[in-house]
């Protein structure tokens, strides 16, 4: 009986570890989005996360919501400095996310300030 429990717990532990690693490291897609940075904030009660939005047009449906991981200090500083400016974001999309990493599945990895007329260059 002890041997059976050992195997079951071992399989569950390995399965949980593989699940976590797959969600964190495997990306579903990568790409670029451009628009006006309209919001960037540090929010949460227990787990603080960095969340932002860029406006890609005039309607509410053209808002791109994204998250930034805490260890991206330079990126967080740049996004704070570019508030209200036109930016081009490089992001990766994950299959799922964990609540302590952010609210969205989109994680920004690079930001560039750009001119409104040259957003997609």
Residue with tokens 């994204």: 66
d(CA 95, CA 105): 7
pLDDT in tens, 32-75: 999 999 999 998 888 889 999 998 877 666 899 999 998 899 99
The answer as to whether 6 is a domain residue is no
If one counts the domains in the chain, the total is 1
On the 0-12 / 13-18 / 19+ scale of CB atoms within 10 A, 19 is exposed
Per residue in 5-25, pLDDT tens?
A: 889 899 999 999 998 888 888
The answer to the question of residue 20 being in a domain is no
pLDDT tens string 83-115: 989 999 999 998 888 878 888 999 999 999 987
Decide: 75 and 111 in contact? Cβ < 8 Å. Answer: yes
CATH number, position 39 = 2.40.50.140
* Cβ contact 68:107 at 8 Å: yes
Domain of 104 in residue numbering reads as 27-118
């Amino acid at each position: 009986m002890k041997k059976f429990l050992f195997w079951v717990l071992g399989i569950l532990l390995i399965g949980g570890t593989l699940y976590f690693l797959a969600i964190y490291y495997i990306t579903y897609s990568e790409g670029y989005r451009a628009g006006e940075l309209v919001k960037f904030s540090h929010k949460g009660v227990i787990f603080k996360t960095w969340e932002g939005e860029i406006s890609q047009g005039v309607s509410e449906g053209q808002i791109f919501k994204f998250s930034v991981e805490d260890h991206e200090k330079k990126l967080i500083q740049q996004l704070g400095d570019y508030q209200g400016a036109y930016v081009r974001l490089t992001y990766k999309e994950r299959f799922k996310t964990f609540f302590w990493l952010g609210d969205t599945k989109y994680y920004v990895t690079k930001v560039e300030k750009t001119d409104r007329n040259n957003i997609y260059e």
